[in-house]
Amino acid sequence: MADKMNSVLAVCWAAAQGDINELRRLVASGVDLNVGDYDNRTGLHLAASEGKLEAVKFFISKGVNLSPKDRFGGTPLVDAKRGDHRQVVALLEKHGVKE
């Protein structure tokens, strides 16, 4: 359980930093990119909320759920809009994400 949580937190941290190399390493080690942290926030939530376009592209390329809800009902699209990250919003909407 601790290893799983550490992996999830590592994905969230790397996503928030936009660290694609670390995300690749985590995927290669078998980490599930769809799993959320203690608030059910996924790496995609963090990348979107921080405006990390390349990280969002990475998550999309890996086929993650593009509309996961955190425990507050928030989605990556809502997070990107809140942060005024227009490129991330446009990319998610291009991939069919709606509020």
Enclosing domain of residue 88: 2-94
Give every CB contact of residue 84 below 8 A, 6+ residues apart in sequence.
none
Give tens-digit pLDDT for 3-23.
Answer: 777 888 999 999 999 999 999
C-alpha span between 22 and 11 (Å, rounded): 8
Q: Rounded to whole angstroms, how far apart are CA atoms 39 and 73? A: 10
The CATH number linked to 53 is 1.25.40.20
- Is pTM, for the whole model, over 0.85? yes
Instruction: Report yes or no on 12 lying in a domain.
Output: yes
Number of domains within the chain = 1
**For residue 62, what is the DSSP state?**
T
Instruction: Determine, yes or no, domain membership for 99.
Output: no
Q: Does residue 82 lie within any of the structural domains?
A: yes
Q: How far is CA 43 from CA 64, 65, 75, in A?
A: 10, 11, 11
Output the pLDDT for position 4.
Answer: 72
Mean pLDDT of 39-68: 97
